[in-house]
Amino acid sequence: MKQLIVKQAYTDAILAELTMHNAEQVTAMLATASALDKNGCLPTYKRIQILQKLADLIKNEEEYFARLIANEGGKPIKDARVEVARAIDGVHLAISAIRDIKGAEIPMDLTPAGAGRKAFTSMEPIGVVVAISAFNHPLNLAIHQIIPAIATGCPIIIKPASLTPLCTLRLSKLIEQAGLPVGWVQVALLDNENAEKLVTDPRVAFFSFIGSAKVGWYLKSKLAPGVRCALEHGGVAPLIFDDYQDIDGFVNGVVKASMYHSGQVCVSVQRVYIPSVRAEEIAQKIAAVANQQVVGDAINEDSDLGPLIAPKEVDRVESWVNEAVAQGARVVTGGRRINKITYEPTVLLNPAKDAKVSTQEIFAPVVCVYAYDDINEAIEAANSLDVSFQAAVFSDNLSLAMDVADKLEASAVMINDYTTFRVDWMPFAGRKHSGYGIGGIGYTMRDMLEHKMIVIKS
């Protein structure tokens, strides 16, 4: 049996040694989930009771989960605590959304053909859910995939990221403690081959994926006929600055929004467009704040930035930044690795339009500032990529800001706020290559339900 070694993100100390599941175990998991689905889900009130107890159990282990997130995923402990709070709230959001699961009467006698009939719809669980999760929010992403399945009555098999499986494993234990019968939530520790076997099985009814576009679109192409799915990939988030009075507030926010969790967030600010007359000044201000960020072990209370998830990611970031500099970008601050797992907070001025830092998601504490002479030029640049998730515009001129928001190709545009803004009840989705379907607790629950219409002829 293959072993999965989980290590502390900064020190490389071993946190756990886990046995991975093989192909036969994948088949058994699918058989268990399929049998539960055929036998019918728990009554709604029991699902509500289980989720209520689960929220309390997570609350009781709030600090434990925060430290687990910091240790296995490298997210600074102060940000990890925020993630746990969001996760608890996510469970409560699902409880509230359960109360909105209902059908509707469908009028039949609008034409003579329907006369003498009554019709109504009800909502049923879609069936077996398979989820593949990402490393960067190891608890809250699991909440967004597992909890909607529990709430709607779907059995779920989830594969957590191999580098950060411990939060999902602990969450699954708490779910059992909360009263959900064994088998309704199964955690699969899989290599790529067995993960594909799981996802492409015809017994799967819904596939939830959070991760790279390359893997997500590939797996979608392999799904069995009729399988619904939701894919959440990344972006190269643009922010257009027009004229905004609170420059210091703006600058502090840019640093947080681009370097939170060392930039390893799918909607991190990466491209900042600023009028040419102010680009140098504001880039220097961003750099001054970036220089104050403390980089270190995420478990330390004073760390603002932790490590990147793996040494190979530092190698990649170093290569991309060096390429940008060779093509004419100026390093305002940073631009170098600190050690094998951390990279300096970095601000680049005017990278080439075709540089990797301008066209691909860097997933690192690197922000690029571009000077523009006409705001339409900035809008065109912001829209130029095949990825599109959340975008932002800063302006004290609301009319202009609304015009820019209308023209930006994004699933959400923040005015005088950052691309990283999210609350867990809002729709969250990528356009173009950035995703498929809509995330958010309530929206995911809708995806996991199917309409059934009953027509009665009297």
Half-sphere exposure of 21 (CA within 13 A, CB side): 24
Residue 114 has a pLDDT of 94
Q: β-strand 237-241 against 269-275: which pairing, if any?
A: parallel
Is-above-0.85 flag for pTM? yes
User: How open is the CA angle 194-196-197, to the nearest 5 degrees?
Assistant: 60
Task: Report which DSSP code applies to 157.
Answer: E
Nearest to 340 by CA among 317, 365, 311: 311
Q: What is the CATH number of domain 237-423?
A: 3.40.309.10
Burial of 431 (0-12, 13-18, 19+ CB in 10 A): middle
Q: β-strand 185-187 against 14-19: which pairing, if any?
A: unpaired
- For CATH 3.40.309.10, the residue range(s) in the chain are 237-423
Distance between CA 132 and CA 142 in Å, rounded?
Answer: 9
Distance between CA 362 and CA 364 in Å, rounded?
Answer: 5
Helix ranges, 260-298 (H): 276-290
Q: β-strand 387-388 against 431-432: which pairing, if any?
A: antiparallel
Nearest-Å Rg of the Cα atoms of the chain is 23
User: Which stretches in the chain have pLDDT values below 50?
Assistant: none
Residue 290 has a pLDDT of 98
Q: Does the annotation count 229 as an active-site position?
A: no
Residue 215 has a pLDDT of 95
For residue 427, the Cα-to-chain-centroid distance in whole angstroms is 12
Residue 303 has a pLDDT of 97
Question: Are the CB atoms for 136 and 163 separated by under 8 Å?
Answer: no
Q: Which residues contact 149 (CB under 8 A, 6 or more apart)?
A: 129, 131, 155, 156, 185, 448
Residue 261 tokens, joined: 């969790």
Q: Does the annotation count 266 as an active-site position?
A: yes
Question: Are the CB atoms for 204 and 157 separated by under 8 Å?
Answer: no
Residue 1 has a pLDDT of 82
Residue 396 has a pLDDT of 96
Q: What share of the chain is helix, strand, coil (3-state, %, to 5)?
A: 40, 20, 35
CB atoms within 10 A of CB 411: 19
Question: Are the CB atoms for 325 and 334 separated by under 8 Å?
Answer: no
The three-class DSSP label of residue 411 is coil
The active-site residue, picked from 154, 167, 229, 232, is 232
The active-site residue, picked from 167, 266, 361, 368, is 266
CATH class of the domain comprising 3-233+434-457: alpha beta
The full length of the chain comes to 458
- For CATH 3.40.605.10, the residue range(s) in the chain are 3-233+434-457
